[in-house]
Chains A and B, each alone.
Chain A
């Protein structure tokens, strides 16, 4: 199971890299969103994908499920949600004021 999820993470990262390298701003935003999904999955996999045990380490239990990665992911998801929302608004605002969503045409400033 861990191997499969890791492969999924790999696919997601490559998709995200492709999107990030494109010139279209919306694709770049989507790329960052997918990138963060990939790392959230990785965080979960790193804690070990076990089911069927309690999430508490005690005296009477032999196996337990690690609950910490889920807490980490929850925090990371909230943060990436906020960042993505802000980024989307910024991209739209930039599109309004520059009239383009092409990164190539936003390069540099004309003062040098």
Chain B
């Protein structure tokens, strides 16, 4: 048994519930939640190392042997994402600690952030379809609260749209589960994969797969991203960074799991549709990113573009492209968290939400300016930073699969990413300074530190490719060979 697998989900829940009793003591709330995430991060690194040495790990809850019980299955892909997600949550929590939004802190900001992370980690780890739904709901309920916490008018009206669209997509999720159970009689992912392979994925199952595609596209913001810019714009900085880094990525994770483990028999239908959706997403995201002058809208559309880009790898469906997608997924979790922290900081410091309303910030806050430049370069995929490897591999994989249009759109979208963010940089950071030194809001070191760490990580991930590549290779290997996952998730020795 590998009871340790449960900790990335259970630890945040336990601490989150305990923290409810310390409402009047913000310091306990702050540091306990940061400490919890540090512990979760270390545990997940340890599990990742164990997975690399011993193969796929599994935890059967209550000793119910699969496929009868609920299982947690840890393969390299899941553990890479759990580790990265925990790391980003540490930094976002630190930012929240130093941002001192006491009104929200008093109303259980930290417990709900922890519950959100618990749902995300659970979704990455679970080996059961219904449990995936439950983890999604844990994550979503926490996100509903975080979305509306603070009760500003914009948050409330955007919150209603966000909740409504997610209730609808959860409904589709349940619908898919019902059909899946009706046709295949099981909900264990590994056994589903076996049975789909036995049946050879007839049209009925392909139709059900499209249903799941819709569900996860809504969560990931693939084509169905219309809810995303508005709701992310209404959030406080640390929360929006965590949302941008994690929430859409869980949808992407589910898409990867479903279309490499379960529905990989009809790529001419499903993966072609994913490819088309990726194109539409990248085009729409690019147009959005250059159409708006509002900082948070531009950042939100950059999330959308990245989702399209990652799914180019899934649409191409070969080892190189999948490897590229995993690289890019890890990179994107880190760097989108960073981007939203920076945008939030810039709005806080300048007091302006549009980029032509302020200028010359680099004179006032030089370090912040340089970090912003690094973020832009990293997002654009310029070599020394972490975006490069993912872009290169996805490009190679897509060309190898003969997806020329997809490759062209993907790399054009990178130019739009660069253009949209450089526009912010040139307008806000360069030129005559608009803030006089005596009016300057001091930037606390605590708020800058998480950004600095994330920037160092994106540079480190780019330079230290050799450290990460065995993990990514292993993750892609398991994704491309479903029988390995089935073996790991079902065998009873």
Q: How far is the CA of A77 from the CA of B137 in the complex (A)?
A: 12
Instruction: Decide: A46 and B178 in contact? CB cutoff 8 A.
Output: yes
CB proximity of A17 to chain B, nearest CB, Å: 10
- Residue A53, interface by CB 8 Å: no
Interface residues on B, range: 20 to 34
Q: Are A72 and B160 in contact (CB under 8 A)?
A: no
Binary per-residue interface labels of chain B (181-222) against chain A in the complex, 1 for a CB within 8 Å, 0 otherwise: 110000100000000000000000000000000000000000
Chain B hits for A72, CB < 8 A: 130, 177, 181
CA A89 to CA B190, docked complex, whole Å: 40
Q: In chain A between 18 and 68, which residues have their CB closer than 8 angstroms to a CB of chain B? A: 20, 25, 28, 32, 35-36, 39-40, 42-43, 45-47, 68
User: Do the beta carbons of B134 and A46 come within 8 Å of each other?
Assistant: no
Residues of chain B within 8 A of A109, CB atoms compared: 154, 157
With A43-B177, A82-B141 already in contact, the answer to whether A98 and B171 are too (CB < 8 A) is no
B156 at the interface (CB under 8 A from A): yes
* Chain B minimum-CB-distance residue to A38: B171
| Chain B contacts for A8, CB-based, 8 A | none
Q: Is there a chain A Cβ closer than 8 Å to B174's Cβ?
A: yes
Given known contacts A35-B171, A75-B130, A86-B144, A46 and B181 CB-to-CB distance under 8 angstroms: yes
- A76–chain B nearest beta-carbon distance, Å: 6
Give B123-164 as 1s and 0s: 1 = Cβ < 8 Å from A's Cβ atoms: 000000010011001000100110010010110110110011
- Chain A's closest residue to B153 (CB) is A97
How far is the CB of A20 from the nearest CB of chain B, in Å?
A: 8
CA A82 to CA B141, docked complex, whole Å: 8
A83 close to chain B: CB less than 8 A: yes
A18 to B210, CA, bound (A): 24
Q: Which residue of B lies closest to A71 (CB)?
A: B130
| A42-B156 CB under 8 A given contacts A69-B181, A86-B145 | no
A94 within 8 A of B: yes
In the bound assembly, the distance between CA atoms of A83 and B145 in angstroms comes to 11
- Within 8 Å by CB of B179, from A46, A86, A103, lies A46
Out of A43, A93, A112, which one reaches B156, CB within 8 Å? A93
Q: B160, A25: Cβ atoms under 8 Å?
A: yes
Determine whether A7 belongs to the interface, using a CB cutoff of 8 Å to chain B.
no
Contact A47:B134 (CB < 8 A) given known A90-B159, A94-B160, A109-B154:
no
- Kindly provide the distance from the CB of A105 to the nearest chain B CB, expressed in whole angstroms: 10
In contact, B160 and A91 (Cβ under 8 angstroms): yes
Assess the B141–A32 pair: CB atoms within 8 A.
no
Q: Which residues of B contact A91 (CB under 8 A)?
A: 160
Which among A42, A45, A79, A98 is the interface contact of B153 at CB below 8 angstroms? A98
Per-residue CB contact flags for chain B residues 168-179 toward chain A (1 = under 8 Å, else 0) read 101100110111
B174 touches A39 (CB 8 A): yes
Whether A28 and B178, one on each chain, are in contact in the complex, defined by CB atoms closer than 8 angstroms, is no
B381 to chain A minimum Cβ distance, whole angstroms, is 31
User: A32 vs B153: C-alpha distance in the bound complex, in angstroms?
Assistant: 23
B403 at the interface (CB under 8 A from A): no
Scoring A46, A75, A82 by chain B CB atoms within 10 A of each residue's CB, the highest score goes to A46
Given A46-B182, A106-B157, CB of A90 within 8 Å of CB of B148? yes
**Residues of A81-110 whose CB lies within 8 A of B:** 82-83, 86-87, 90-91, 93-94, 97-98, 103, 106, 109
User: Which residues of B380-426 have CB atoms within 8 Å of chain A's CB atoms?
Assistant: none
Is B167 in contact with A83, judged by CB distance below 8 angstroms? yes
Q: Tell me, yes or no, whether B474 is within 8 Å of chain A by CB.
A: no
Given A79-B134, A90-B148, also A32-B167 (CB < 8 A): yes
Q: Closest Cβ of chain A: how far from B107's Cβ, in Å?
A: 13
Across the two chains, which residue of chain A brings its CB closest to B156?
A94
Tell which of B145, B164, B168 has the most Cβ of chain A within 10 Å.
B164
Chain A residues near B171: list those with CB within 8 A: 32, 35-36, 39
CB of B141 within 8 A of CB of A42, answer no
Contact B134 A75 (CB under 8 A): yes
User: How many Å from the CB of A63 to the closest CB on chain B?
Assistant: 15
Q: Which residues of the other chain, B, contact A20 by a CB distance below 8 angstroms?
A: 164, 168
For the complex of A and B, the 3 pairs showing the least CB-CB separation, nearest first, are A46-B182, A94-B156, A39-B174
Chain B residues packing against A (C-beta within 8 Å): 130, 133-134, 137, 141, 144-145, 148, 151, 153-154, 156-157, 159-160, 163-164, 167-168, 170-171, 174-175, 177-179, 181-182, 187, 294, 353
- Contact surface of A with B, Cβ cutoff 8 Å: 20, 25, 28, 32, 35-36, 39-40, 42-43, 45-47, 68-69, 72, 75-76, 79, 82-83, 86-87, 90-91, 93-94, 97-98, 103, 106, 109, 111-112
12 contacts between A and B (CB under 8 A): A25-B160, A32-B168, A35-B167, A39-B171, A39-B175, A42-B174, A72-B130, A72-B181, A75-B134, A86-B145, A98-B153, A103-B160
Q: A97-B156, A98-B153 are in contact. List 7 more A-B contacts (CB 8 A).
A: A25-B160, A32-B164, A43-B174, A46-B181, A47-B182, A82-B141, A97-B153
